[in-house]
């Protein structure tokens, strides 16, 4: 009886470990496909696919947002602080869209290297704080920088 119980224990352990290893290999093999977006450096480096849609993730570069009069067209640069890519988009932006905000945008790269976006999503970070705490944080940062 003890022996049968031990065998069953081993069976359960091997089942879980076996599936775990199999899934780990599979996910590793599909690594590229699970990535939700490319970084601007990868795009500049030519890793992103040309001719069919993909996503770029990064920060909206400071002072790069240009809205046009009379239409929803907007020009901005998305950056990973090393490289940046020019993006043009026409449509409704999410609430969190602003300069310095992380975003993920979907579209295609045109021959001149401008990314024509069909969708812009804001990527929220993991920080939650009241506005006063953010002011305090910024004040402390400028104090440190000076």
Partner 1 sequence: MWDWFHRLGSPKYFYGFAGALVPWLAGLCVILFAVGLYLGLVIAPSDYQQGDSYRIIFVHVPSAWMSMFVYVLMAIFAAIGLIWRVKLTAILATASAPIGASFTFLALATGSIWGKPMWGTWWVWDARLTSELILFFLYLGFIALQTAIPDRQTAWRAASILLLVGVVNIPIIHYSVDWWYTLHQPATITKFDTPSIHLSMLIPLLIMAVAFKVFYITVLLSRARAEILDRERKTHWVQDLVRSEQI
Among 72, 82, 133, 139, which residue interacts with partner 1 (rule: CB under 8 A)? 133
Q: Does 123 bind partner 1 (CB under 8 A)?
A: yes
Among 43, 74, 78, 120, which residue interacts with partner 1 (rule: CB under 8 A)? 120
Among 132, 142, 143, 144, which residue interacts with partner 1 (rule: CB under 8 A)? 132
- Decide: helix, strand or coil at residue 47: coil
Return the number of the residue (5 or 112) whose C-beta is nearest partner 1.
5
Q: Does 107 bind partner 1 (CB under 8 A)?
A: no
Other Cβ atoms closer than 10 A to 106: 17
User: Closest separation between CB of residue 82 and partner 1, Å?
Assistant: 16
Which residues fall within 8 angstroms of residue 4, CB to CB, at 6 or more apart? none
Return the number of the residue (31 or 144) whose C-beta is nearest partner 1.
31
The structure tokens listed for 6 are 């031990």
CA dihedral in degrees (77, 49, 118, 70; nearest 10)? 40
Q: Does 15 bind partner 1 (CB under 8 A)?
A: yes
User: Closest separation between CB of residue 111 and partner 1, Å?
Assistant: 26
Other Cβ atoms closer than 10 A to 41: 16
Residues 33-72, interacting with partner 1 (CB under 8 A): 34-37, 39, 57
Looking at 30-73, list the stretches that DSSP marks H as alpha helix, in order from N- to C-terminal side: 31-34, 40-44
């Amino acid at each position: 009886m003890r022996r049968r119980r031990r065998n069953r224990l081993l069976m359960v352990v091997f089942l879980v470990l076996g599936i775990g290893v199999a899934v780990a290999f599979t996910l590793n093999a599909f690594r590229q496909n699970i990535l939700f977006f490319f970084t601007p450096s990868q795009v500049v480096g030519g890793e992103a696919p040309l001719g069919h849609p993909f996503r770029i993730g990064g920060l909206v570069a400071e002072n790069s947002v240009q809205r046009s009069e009379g239409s929803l067209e907007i020009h901005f640069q998305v950056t990973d602080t090393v490289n940046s890519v020019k993006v043009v988009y026409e449509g409704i932006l999410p609430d969190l869209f602003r300069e310095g905000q992380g975003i993920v945008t979907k579209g295609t790269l045109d021959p001149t290297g401008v990314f024509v976006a069909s969708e812009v999503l804001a990527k929220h970070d993991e920080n939650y704080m009241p506005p006063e705490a953010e002011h305090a944080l910024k004040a402390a940062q400028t104090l440190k920088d000076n």
